[in-house]
Structure 1
Amino acid sequence: MALQQDIDALLQRAVSDGDVPGVVAAATNRDETIYEGAFGERVLGDGPAMTPDTVVWIASMTKAITGMAAMQLVEQGKLSLDAPASDIIPYLGEVQVLEGFDDTGQPMTRAPKQHVTLRHLLTHTAGFGYEIWNPSIIRYQEAKGIPGITTCENVALTTPLLFDPGERWDYGINIDWAGKMVEAVSGQRLGAYMQANIFDPLGMSSTAFKITPEMRSRLAKIHQRDDRGQLAPIEMEVPQEPEFEMGGGGLYSTIGDYLKFVKMILNKGLADGQQLLKPETVELMSTNQMGDCRVCELTTAIPPVSRNAEFFPGMLKTWGLTFMINTEPAPTGRSAGSLAWAGLANSYYWIDPAKGVGGAYATQMLPFVDEKSLPLYLAFESAVYQHLS
């Protein structure tokens, strides 16, 4: 069976079985799109149909794009991977390490043993975490009256480090700070910088922090799975007039747009005759940049939003700038040394430089690593590789 029919059947079956409200997926080699398909509804039980150009919240798939922006500025000498980040953002020289809480519930903190750097931020080794997977951050937020990160309020970025920079890996608000560094040296809002230097050159015309009226006409709603496994749409949207544009998770996009980014990385920074990143920069971004630190399971602190999350449990995984890297071949067919990550509402992508293939997939549903959506994504990826061989 041809690739198109095979994956169409896979995705259609998942929708028909009620596993996902709607899904869109696409894959590319270095030259062209090899699969594109969309099934189901943008809003469960209330059409319109999911289409390849449906706009979705890509959440943490934003991180790789913010990483690209930062690395463009590293190439230009405006940012340094290893200088103190406080040279650019003074606050990052004042941030403290959380030691625990005293008898009255107040946080106890100390100064970090070394400077936070951009490399720490891009590899999630600075010490910052996310409240979704860290009860101590929730406790700190409650003690200090700090809102969650998705409020896009500047004060949300003032949670402490959980450990000394470079000590280990923990997934967190690091890339929001990297986005702030991009803004500081470019003199632009993050979205404006991305528009001029990434989206326009790549032809990503439906990607932005602010949803235009035209994009909204194609927007899918986010759904949530309850304790009984039932899905229902919820009201959830990144603030549209934010204090800061969330480099760690604020973008809306389409799978077709994101595939243009994937293809550019497969082509070592080249797109339509324009070298948006130097090949050696892409090489650096695509290799382990955190030494002996390792990616570990994210244990949920807010189960309705995320289940415990780990890709390919038991496999050693590292981090580049800013992608997860699998050190062994994955069961799907993904080569060792491939790049990947995901978005909270069950969107996923991978980039396999060795085999010259990559793809992106989106549903709009919580919790993260959903029991139905994640296996469907992995089945989609596996089907792409089956047809390659």
Structure 2
Amino acid sequence: MPSRLSPLAIQTIQEILNKYTANFSKDVPGVCVSIHNTNGEDLLTCSSGKTGANGEEDMTNDHQFWMASLTKLITSVAVLQLVETGKLSLDDGEQLENLIPELKGLPILSRDATTGKMVLVPRKNLITVRQLLAHTAGFGYTFFSPELREYLKTNKISGLKLLEELNFISPLLFEPGTDFNYGAGSDIAGLALERATGMKLGDYVERNIFQPLQMENSTFDKDTSKKLKNLVKLNQRDPDNGTLREVPHVYSLNRSGKPDHFHSGGAGCFGTATDYAKFLSTLANDGVSPRTKHRILSSESIKYLFSNQLEHNPNFLRKPMIGIPGLTPNLQEFFPQAGSPPQGWGSSFVIALEDVMDTGRPKNTYHWYGLANMFYWIDIERGIVAVICAQVLPFFDPTCWELWKGVERAVYKGLIPSVKAKL
């Protein structure tokens, strides 16, 4: 049967959360952890601290978080559902560009060797859904791409308006299919779903993922949904004195108040830690909810979702990324590991091809992050999933990072052995 947690591990995890939230205006205001197994059991959902740096409200397990890039995995599953029904193709670039004609003729952003200025050059390859999900289509994010920021500044384009006005289809950073760059591919994939179904992404996900999995507190409608009642405050760390302050949520795309605002496939979901753990445990259980028994993906699609899309590029996250102060740090690599072993990438997450030595998490596990210091991992072999939710900027906050690692260590130190679950 899938794994369980020892009583000592449960106690230790709660103590870790209490430690890091004791000084809620200096360390982490509040955090919620949810750990489930593929039997459908909630092994531990616990919270600690406050909903914001002002300390006005206690954090509870019912509070909802901006999921940020944890949204991408939801979008990947939704898109693969359409691949199963034949409404979308993984590799038919003509189909994709006919659905989204804004992609046709989209150029590549390049720096002129003579003038040093950013120029646009034609591309040769078509863009495919497979590339969008694997982040190999060439799209970037402004907060990790100085070149894209320079282009937008030169052309007086607002980064937020890229999303607000559906003009987010910015120039590519390389020829589609030739490299990896973490960016807006999931947003384009979500738009393809909308064009193929005639439904808003959030409405499709509500019907085909949230309802079947009883994810009753998740939504893409931040400003109009009645489901979003307990949203945690977003907090930002002062770079000079390290204190935290509450700031407006950066990802309310419904600034006009219109009910048909853009649903971001890359970062537009809000929900509870428990809801997201239900989703993860379904994927770890071969696409079948262990609670409701609904299948949301076929076994074949699950295998694709967890397969390494970048075997030819085992160091794809080992390149410097220049961030934006207060939002994203400068990073030498996303997933540092001793000895720099090969890296793998599924359809929304890192695949640990070797043991994560500093926490005890074994190889062949999967994880990813969200901008406001959200983190999850999936361990199919042991039948366990976990999500750790905070709302702190900038990304990769050192205090949040240490909290993540502490929880992960406690899980693997206190994991009760079980029969291995198979993918």
Q: TM-score scaled to structure 2, two decimals? A: 0.87
Match of 1:36 in 2: 45
Name the structure 1 match of 2:232: 220
**Aligned counterpart, 1:360:** 387
1:261-315 per-residue CA deviation (whole Å, 9 max, x = no partner) reads: 1110110100122111001211111011234132334523302101234123434
User: Any conservation in 2 of the 1:59–1:345 contact (CA below 8 Å)?
Assistant: yes
Closer, same or farther: CA 150–28 of 1 in aligned 2, 3 Å: farther
Pair 1:377 & 2:377 matched: no
Partner of 1:16: 22
Secondary structure (helix, strand or coil) at the match of 1:108 reads: strand
Residue 3 of structure 2 corresponds to: none
Task: Measure how far apart 1:36 and its partner are.
Answer: 1.1
Written as runs of structure 1 = structure 2, the 5 A alignment for 1:1-389 is 2-17=8-23, 18-31=26-39, 32-84=41-93, 85-100=96-111, 107-149=118-160, 152-211=163-222, 214-227=226-239, 228-237=241-250, 238-240=252-254, 241=258, 243-271=261-289, 272-293=292-313, 294-297=316-319, 299-309=321-331, 310-313=334-337, 314-331=340-357, 332-389=359-416
Give the Cα–Cα distance (whole angstroms) in 2 for the partners of residues 106 and 243 of structure 1. Answer: 35
TM-score, with structure 1 as normaliser: 0.95
Where in structure 1 do 4 or more consecutive aligned residues deviate above 6 Å? Answer: 102-106
Contact preservation (8 Å) 1:335, 1:355 = no
What is the alpha-carbon root mean square deviation over aligned residues?
A: 2.0
Aligned-pair CA distance for 1:87? 3.3
Which amino acid is the alignment partner of residue 12 of structure 1?
N
Secondary structure of residue in 1 paired with 2:398: coil
Aligned equivalents of 2:360, 2:49: Cα separation in 1: 27
Which consecutive unaligned segments of at least 5 residues does structure 1 have? none
User: Does the aligned pair in 1 maintain the 2:317–2:335 contact within 8 Å?
Assistant: no
Rate the CA distance shift 1:249–1:150 in 2: closer, same or farther, 3 A: farther
Q: Could you give the per-residue CA deviations for residues 105-163 of structure 1, whole angstroms, max 9, x where no partner exists?
A: 97411122211111111011111110111111111111222221576324441311111
Give me the whole-angstrom Cα distance separating, in 1, the residues matched to 2:77 and 2:16: 33
Identical amino acids, percent of aligned pairs: 34
CA distance 1:329–1:199, shift in 2 (3 Å): same
**Residues 1:144 and 1:106: Cα distance change in structure 2 (over 3 Å):** farther
Structure 2: 5+ residue runs without aligned partners?
Answer: 1-6, 417-423
Q: Is the 8 A contact 1:44 1:232 kept in 2?
A: yes
CA separation of 1:320 and 1:120: change in aligned 2, threshold 3 A: same
Q: Are the counterparts in 2 of residues 124 and 170 from structure 1 also a CA contact under 8 Å?
A: yes
